[in-house]
Amino acid sequence: ITLYASKPSTCTIDWGDGKSEQLSVNGQFSKEHNYAAPGEVTITISNVTGDLKIGIKDINDKNILMKLTKYVQEVKTFGPLGLGTCAFLNASNFTKVSQVDIPRSDLLTSLNRVFERATDFNDDIGNWDTSNVNDLSAAFHRASKFNQDIGKWDTSKLTRLDSTFRL
């Protein structure tokens, strides 16, 4: 799990194997968890305080994220989490995103490389509130299956759009 917060934030992570832990995050934070056996698990992040986001602050940290996100298949609900830069970078098994709720719009300012190389992702995200997003650069770069309608997204604050749909 790679998280970022611009101010002190906390959360509880339930790793889906009977183990959970409290985390304090201020800045960039990566946490790995070892499982006793291979298999599918549901990881739950709850009790969130502050401005916690899935993703990274500095694009130079993307190697940390790339080794962790390749296992992500689905986000069942966003709850109080936001999305940040590279949130699902290299998540080649990622196929489904919550239809129950959307990422917090007040924390959704950059979708830079958010689905880059998420090669199987093609889920509906047309209802996301993007009114605060200023960066969509490489958001769907090499996300070769993505073909959804995002025509209702508010792009009025965009300042970066380079390589957004580059294959």
Q: What is the pLDDT of residues 132-144, one digit of tens each?
A: 999 999 999 999 9
Instruction: State the average pLDDT for the chain.
Output: 87
Query: What is the pLDDT, as a whole number, of residue 80?
Result: 85
Query: What is the pLDDT, as a whole number, of residue 167?
Result: 87
This prediction's pTM: 0.84
Query: What is the pLDDT, as a whole number, of residue 85?
Result: 82
HEC profile of the chain: CEEEEEEEEEEEEECCCCCEEEEEEEEEEECCCCCCCCCCCCCEEEEEECCCEECECCHHHHHHHHHHHCCCCECCCCCCCEECECCCCCCCCCCECCCCCCCCHHHCCECCCCCCCCCCCCCCCCCCCCCCCCECCCCCCCCCCCCCCCCCCCCCCCCECCCCCCC
Identify the band that residue 112 occupies on the pLDDT scale cut at 50, 70 and 90.
Answer: very high
What mean pLDDT comes out for the span 34-43?
A: 88
